[in-house]
Every structure is written in structure tokens, then in C-alpha cells.
Amino acid sequence: MAAKPTAFLAVAGVVLGPYFFFRGFRLLQLKRRVMNVPTSSIRAAALGPVEVSGKAIGPYTLVVPLSQSDCRYYRLVVESNPRGDLGKRVNEMCAPLFLDDGTGIVMVYPKESELRLKPSYQRAEYGKLAMALTSRYQTETPEFSQEYSIKAGETIFVLGNLCENVWMRRNPDMEPDELSRIGPGFVCEAEADLQRRDAFRFLNPAVPSGATLETPIKFDLNPPVILTKGNGPF
């Protein structure tokens, strides 16, 4: 009987050893790349890999589906959703997001980037999971979903690729459709208004929904450069 735990540990070592080795190697590789990326102010940033930090700002906000709070950007990761009210497995939405470090402002597009954020909200039905694991009968599927968000005024650190804005409209005077996405996929003001009204049905349709913020800053939604994920690990 004493040999069974030893055999189990040996099998676990064979299975998990390569996983942890390659994961550690990837983290080491990522660390080296991060160390080679120059830290810069926004005003002095050059095209290419760059590391900047500042406050998240923008002209209007979105409503996060789970916590129903205001944000600039959210990512909803759905592991299990028996209610069927959260849609696809990973859902991202971003209003025009800018970073302000006091020296300048740069537009940031965080879609599909690696987030190092704590969940701002989560649904986790551990009670149902325990019942499912201990019961011999079929039980209700537990729900697990997490929300990550960047809120107005939060200080964030961004490691990405500063590149020319290939989505820039060549003729800014041409008016797009009022529900057209901005640049690489930012939610436009009209869509943000509809999203807020869908979340808060009690809002008066005759008055502004509150998505647009009062700010003295005039945001350029068609800038010459934009900070994105790039083709690397960040």
C-alpha cells in the first residue's frame, strides 16, 4: 500500500514536470524581453516596443456586464454560464482609451493583450461545485465567470508596441455611420449610449444617458499613432 503514493507522485512528476519547465522558460523569456524594452514618457516615446504608465482617461465610459459599474475597458471571461446571459467565452469591449502621464496623451488599444489585473468582479458558485463533486446524481451546473476592467482615473502600466495608426481615416471630414466602430474597434459614443441604456432600463430616453463625461480635454479619435499589443508576447 505504501508504494501507491510514490507511484502517484512519480506519474504526477512526469506529467507536470514538462509543463512547469516550459512555463518557467516562457516567463524567463518574457522577463528578458521586458528588461530590453525602454521605459519612456509618452512625449518622448518612439515607434516600436515601449513601456509607459499613466492615468486611464477618455471621452466616455461603458458599463461592465457583471458589476454594472463604469469603466473604460472590460474583459469578461466565462468558464461556465448555465444562465446563458453572458454570451461568448471571452467578451471584450473598449471605449476610446487614452493614457496620460503628464507629458502627453496616447491612445491605447488593449484587445487580446495579456492582462495582469485582479478580477474586478466574479461569479463563482462554489456551493454548486461541491454538490456536483459529491453527489451521485446530476446537479445544476455551477457558474464561473470573471470580469476585468480598467476604470476612469486608474493608474495603469502598459507594455506594448507604439505603431502608426493604420486605421486612421484619411478623410476625417467624411462622417461615418453613427454606430461605426472607431479605429481598430473602439466603441463609438452612440453605441456606448445604447449599451448603458440596455443595462439601466430606467434611464429617460429623452435625456443623455451619462456615458459621455465632462472634460476639458479634446480627445483625438483619429491620432497618427496608437499603442497596441503588437506581434510579440505583449
Kindly state the average pLDDT of the residues 194-212: 80
Report the C-alpha gap between 122 and 145 in whole angstroms. 6
| pLDDT above 50 (res 138) | no
Residue of higher predicted confidence among 142 and 79: 79
Kindly state the average pLDDT of the residues 20-42: 65
| pLDDT above 90 (res 122) | no
For the chain, how many residues are written?
A: 234
Residue of higher predicted confidence among 93 and 201: 93
What pTM, to 2 d.p., does this model score?
0.74
pLDDT band at 136 (very low <50, low <70, confident <90, very high): very low
Range from 52-66, 110-124, 164-178 carrying the lowest mean pLDDT:
164-178
Q: Report CA torsion sign: 17, 22, 26, 29.
A: positive
| pLDDT above 80 (res 209) | no
Quote the pLDDT of residue 72.
94
Torsion angle, alpha carbons of 201, 205, 207, 208, to 10:
60
Residue ranges covered by each domain of the chain: 38-228
